[in-house]
Chain A
Amino acid sequence: MDQVELRQWEARCIQEEPPWCTAACPLSVDARAVCGHLAAGRPGGVDEAWAVLCRTLPLPGILARICDAPCKSACLRAQRGGGLEMGALERFCAERATRTPRLAALPSRGKSAAVYGAGLAGLAAAWDLGRKGLAVTLYMDDPGKALLDRYPGRLPSDAVAQALDGLARLGVALAPAQALDRGAARAALAGFDAVVADPELAPAEALGLLPDPVTLAGDVPGLFAASLPGVDSPAALAALGRRMATSVERHAQAASLAAGREREGVFATRLFTDISQVADLAPAPVPEAGYGPEEARAEAARCLDCQCLECVRHCAYLEHYGSYPKVYARRVFNNEAIVMGSRQANEFINSCMLCGLCAQVCPTDFAVADLCLDARQGMVARGRMPPSAHEFALRDMAFANGPHSALARPAPGQPASPWAFFPGCQLPASDPGTTTRLYALARQALPQGCGLLLRCCGAPARWAGQDATADAATASLCDDWEALGKPRLAVACPSCVVTLKAELPEAEVRSLWEILADAGLPAPESAPGRTLAVHDPCASRHDPGQRRALRGLLDRLGAAWTEPAHSGESTECCGFGGLLVHANPPLGAEVARRRGQASPEDFVTTCAMCRDLLARAGKRCLHLADLLAPGPDPDPAARSAPGHSRRRENRARLKEDLMRDLWPDSAESLEPEPWAGVAVTFTPEAAARLEERRILVSDVQKVLHAVEQSGRFLKNSETGRRLAAHRPVAVTYWVDYAPDGAGGFTVHNVWSHRMQVREVA
């Protein structure tokens, strides 16, 4: 990612866009922040709210009391009961604040301005220019009286006095009012760097000017004027004065008058806020005397605190890292860009499920997946991918593609078949019995002939950013597919459908579920009595055909079903996507747990990993195959997810059984591994450690086999037990065990580490 791409990413996220109130305010007041302070009810909250107003408003003691609050109609709450009564809240702050922040003017740079004023525009211009350090002369008779007359009954005289005092402290000098015409304005430029004309005294037309609407510059450099706004709005008038002051400052600095002023005054915000779940709540009527403290707090509490955060609301991962995509993009960029130093965002990058939900819900289609997958590929390319993040998953993929699990055969009795069933690597690992029955069902639905292709589609390597490994897996897959005569593929796993369509474009890839839905086979008598909730795997987010097939098959079975919260295109990942469960196990567990809560009903799904991870999180979950091709288990929804070692055994056993039963003539006999003969049993604690620590039974067997060969182990005279270690490849496994007296071993504990131990002689 380069700087340009970073800016594009940052610009796409709208979370930092101003809320509607600020965008509709001619002075860009942060009304949301004002309401936040007032609603929180903390001591000092009123002062904090007042400080926000004082930061933005010219002559805050005046404007806050007479503001016409154009924000009120733009406020989103207007659609849910009535816009916020910001005018009353501003007045409340002005009246009840106990502390007004001190005003400071910038140091003088020797520039001066004449403001010919009569009302708020002139006063605001004088205020702003005084703050900017210009020497301002305000030509106006008795501004206090002018304000009191103009806004009778709204301004206490001490507030007016304070405002004038503020002006004086900003160095604004008062001078008697002067009439202003074109000639006088031009003449005044001889004595001042700039001249500002209040439209209530001398609108632009009276000066013969047609000023540029953005800069309000007249035809003579340094002269600024405006037409009266169409409505008698104090906010709009003050904003005119402010706009002219900004132009004066730029003029004095010989900077561009017009550049970068698109968001000055009123503009359209890109923010999006979902108010679909917000209940109507009307404001209490504003009393004549203004709000009291409790009323002000209640009104401020009606503020919706408009944010976007759509993606964060929908994703436990985006929520977990405490920010939002604009910030995340920069973190990823910084992570890549660091030349000297340690990377802080590796875990963030490796925890994205790549599931596309954020892009789905984002008003501007921000896809964090693209950010993270790109970053992972970069990390791999530069040798900076932490090995521990994905190694286990890649080992598992290699096993699925290895001689014990991989299989490519045409239908029994056929030299070649037009179809091949591709269950994916996880269904065999989870439930070999169901895989076998599903294959039989596929053969029924595809009587022309359906072979079998057992392999991993390579998705884990893609998700890990390991494109070279993935390409190698694809190449082997392609070899098998070609050797089978390039059959059409009936694919059970939704992730495999996505991956195979991308990686094997010459192949015709169809979801098995769509095939079964079309085939119209008789339904087995196995429909559960209770209603099921449909869990769409995240890989089927953009595949309406698969999603329809799942529901259609449930209908055919006579199974009642409902949609959970977040379904279809808005479905949530179970935590396997992007290898989250491997790279960040605690977050993965949390994701699965949350998904389980999307419905009180049992889930039914078409992805074996979704089924297993939800089951692991304690959610009753069926695989559709459990209903279409039921086995002896009376309650498959309660089946727990097999552990890591069992998954491998399942794959190996499936291949063995199928070869023996369906293709006995071509059964290969694989040499058993030397360590496979080691007899081990595990205490319950040890078995739990194996799962938690991603250590396989075969890893333990390798250790014990190495001990048998070398005779090297450690003995504990107190417990009588033994400790041994072995490092097959990149991880050292430690086994705490004792001989069981029958030639085998009982294992009490296992642990591992990646650091290599070198004994110092």
Chain B
Amino acid sequence: MSTLKVLEGDFSAWTCAACGQPLAMRPVELDYLGSRFTVELPACPACGQALIPEDLAQGKMAQVEKLLEDK
């Protein structure tokens, strides 16, 4: 599957404090209960630390978790 674009919005103000680099939109893998999704998220180009915004976590992610839990 291709990388899913799940976020709108501007994340240019964010930097990774450990690496000093601004975050860039990159593919990140999300795993839950044996299923894997590749989504595009802001992440540090150097160490890979990703940012999961509140709306995503409490919104779409929570919905997907619930969907996968009812297996």
Q: Do chains A and B touch in the complex (CB under 8 A)?
A: yes
What residues of chain A have their CB less than 8 Å away from a CB belonging to chain B? 342-344, 346, 384, 386-388, 693, 710-719, 722-723, 725, 732, 734, 736, 749, 751-761
CB contacts (< 8 Å) of B54 on chain A: these are 734, 736, 749, 751
> With A and B bound together, what is the CA distance between A386 and B32 in angstroms?
12
Closest B residue, CB atoms, query A386? B69
Name the A residues within 8 Å of B64 (CB-CB): 755
How close is A351's CB to chain B, nearest CB, in angstroms?
Answer: 14
Contact A346 B69 (CB under 8 A): yes
Determine the distance from Cα of A632 to Cα of B31 in the docked complex, in whole angstroms. Answer: 51
Interfacial chain A residues near B71, Cβ < 8 Å = 342-343, 384
- 1/0 contact string of B24-42 vs chain A (CB within 8 Å): 0011111110000010000
In the complex, B8 has a CB within 8 A of chain A: no
Closest to A389 in B: B69
Is there contact, CB below 8 Å, between B28 and A757? yes
Q: Given A723-B51, A752-B57, A755-B32 in contact, is the A715-B18 Cβ separation under 8 Å? A: no
Q: Which of B29, B58, B65 is in CB contact (< 8 Å) with A388?
A: B65
Residues of chain A lying within 8 A (CB to CB) of residue B70: 342-344, 346, 386
Task: Give the chain B neighbours of A693 by CB distance below 8 A.
Answer: 58
- Residue among A714, A718, A753 making CB contact with B62, cutoff 8 Å: A753
B16 at the A/B interface (Cβ < 8 Å)? yes
Set B15, B29, B67, B69: member contacting A387, Cβ < 8 A: B69
Name the B residues within 8 Å of A756 (CB-CB): 30-32
Bound together, the chains give a CA A387 to CA B69 distance in angstroms of 7
B13 and A760 within 8 A (CB): no
Interface contact A754-B32, CB-CB below 8 Å: yes
Q: Classify the secondary structure of B's interface with A.
A: mixed
Q: Would you call B4 an interface residue if the criterion is a C-beta within 8 Å of the partner chain's C-beta atoms?
A: no
**How far is it, in angstroms, between the C-alpha of A160 and the C-alpha of B23 when the chains are bound?**
87
For A722, what are the chain B residues with a Cβ–Cβ distance below 8 Å?
Answer: 17
Whether A711 contacts B31 by the Cβ 8 Å rule is no
Contact of B38 among A342, A715, A760 (CB under 8 A): A760
The count of residues in chain B whose C-beta lies closer than 8 Å to any C-beta of chain A is 34
Query: What residues on A are CB-neighbors of B52 within 8 Å?
Result: 725, 732, 734, 753, 757
Besides A346-B69, A717-B14, A757-B50, 20 more A-B contacts (Cβ < 8 Å) are A342-B67, A384-B71, A388-B65, A693-B58, A713-B18, A714-B49, A714-B51, A715-B15, A716-B13, A716-B14, A722-B17, A732-B52, A734-B57, A751-B57, A753-B57, A755-B30, A758-B30, A759-B29, A759-B48, A760-B48
Q: Which residue of A lies closest to B33 (CB)?
A: A387
With a cutoff of 8 Å between Cβ atoms, the chain B residues found around residue A723 in the complex are: 14, 51
A342 contacts which chain B residues (CB < 8 A)?
67, 70-71
CA distance A755 to B36 in the complex (A): 9
- Please tell me if the beta carbons of A761 and B17 are within 8 angstroms of each other in the complex: no
Closest beta carbon of chain A to B55's beta carbon, Å: 9
A753-B65 in contact given A716-B13, A758-B28 (Cβ < 8 Å): yes
Query: What A residues does B61 contact at CB under 8 A?
Result: 753, 755
Closest to B38 in A: A760
Contact A714-B23, Cβ < 8 Å, known A342-B70, A755-B30: yes
Q: Would B15 and A714 count as touching, CB distance under 8 A? A: yes
> Complex formed: what's the CA distance from A717 to B20 in Å?
12
Question: In the complex, A306 Cα to B32 Cα: how many Å?
Answer: 49
Shortest distance between the CB of A513 and any CB in chain B (Å): 40
Min C-beta distance of A381 to chain B, whole Å: 15
Q: Which residues of B contact A760 (CB under 8 A)?
A: 26-29, 38, 48
Residue of chain B at shortest CB distance from A712: B18
Q: Which residues in A have their C-beta under 8 angstroms from that of B15? A: 714-715, 717
Residues of chain A within 8 A (CB-CB) of B62 are 753
How many whole Å from A583's CB to the nearest CB in chain B? 12
Chain A residues lying within 8 Å of B29, measured Cβ to Cβ, are: 757-760
- Verify A757–B30 contact, CB threshold 8 A: yes
Q: How far is the CB of A256 from chain B (nearest CB, A)?
A: 44
Residue of A nearest to B54 (CB): A751
Is the CB of B1 closer than 8 A to any CB of chain A?
Answer: no
A725–B44 alpha-carbon span in the complex (Å): 14
The minimal Cβ–Cβ distance linking B26 to chain A, given in whole angstroms, is 7
Residues in B whose Cβ lies below 8 Å from that of A758: 28-31
A387 to B67, CA, bound (A): 12
Residues of B within 8 Å of A759, CB to CB, are 28-29, 43, 47-50
Query: Using Cβ atoms and an 8 Å threshold, which residues of chain A touch B43?
Result: 759
Cβ contacts A to B, 12 pairs, < 8 Å: A342-B67, A343-B70, A712-B47, A715-B16, A722-B17, A723-B51, A751-B54, A754-B32, A755-B61, A756-B30, A756-B32, A760-B26
Are B49 and A718 within 8 A (Cβ)?
Answer: no
Residues of A close to B23: CB separation below 8 A: 714
Residues of B close to A713: CB separation below 8 A: 17-18
Asked whether, in the complex, the Cβ of A388 is within 8 Å of the Cβ of B66, the reply is yes
B21 to chain A, nearest CB (A): 11
Give the nearest-CB partner of B62 in chain A.
Answer: A753
Quote the shortest CB–CB distance from B10 to chain A (angstroms): 10
Cβ contacts under 8 Å, A757 to chain B: 28-30, 50, 52
Question: What separation, in Å, do the CA atoms of A342 and B66 have in the docked complex?
Answer: 11
**CA of A751 to CA of B57 in the docked complex: distance in angstroms?**
7
A344 vs B54: C-alpha distance when bound (angstroms): 27
Q: How far is the CA of A753 from the CA of B67 in the complex (A)?
A: 14
CA of A91 to CA of B45, assembled, Å: 83
Nearest CB on B from A97, distance (A): 48
* CB-CB nearest in chain A for B15: A715
- Does B17 lie within 8 Å of A755, measured CB to CB? no
Is B31 a contact partner of A717 (Cβ separation < 8 A)? no
Contacts of A736 in B (CB 8 A): 54
* A725 CA to B49 CA, complexed, in Å: 10
Closest to B51 in A: A714
B32 CB contacts on chain A under 8 angstroms: 754-756
User: From residue B7, how far is it (CB to closest CB) to chain A in Å?
Assistant: 14
- Cα of A125 to Cα of B30 in the assembled complex, Å: 70
Q: How far is the CB of B66 from chain A (nearest CB, A)?
A: 7
* Distance to closest chain A CB from B59 (angstroms): 10
CB closest chain-B residue, reference A344: B70
Q: Name the residue of chain A whose CB is nearest to the CB of B37.
A: A755
CB closest residue in chain B, given A719: B13
Residues in chain A near residue B26, CB distance under 8 A: 760
Q: How far is the CA of A751 from the CA of B60 in the complex (A)?
A: 13
Judging by beta carbons under 8 Å apart, are A714 and B28 in contact? no
Alpha-carbon gap, A715 to B22, bound state (A): 9
How far is B47's CA from A670's CA once the two chains are assembled, in angstroms? 37
A734→B30 CA distance, assembly (Å):
16
Q: Shortest beta-carbon distance, B30 to chain A, in Å?
A: 5
Known A749-B54, A759-B49; contact A388-B31, beta-carbon cutoff 8 A:
no
Complex: chain B residue closest to A754, CB-CB: B65
- Whole-angstrom CA separation of A346 from B66 in the bound complex: 10
A176 to B1, CA, bound (A): 80
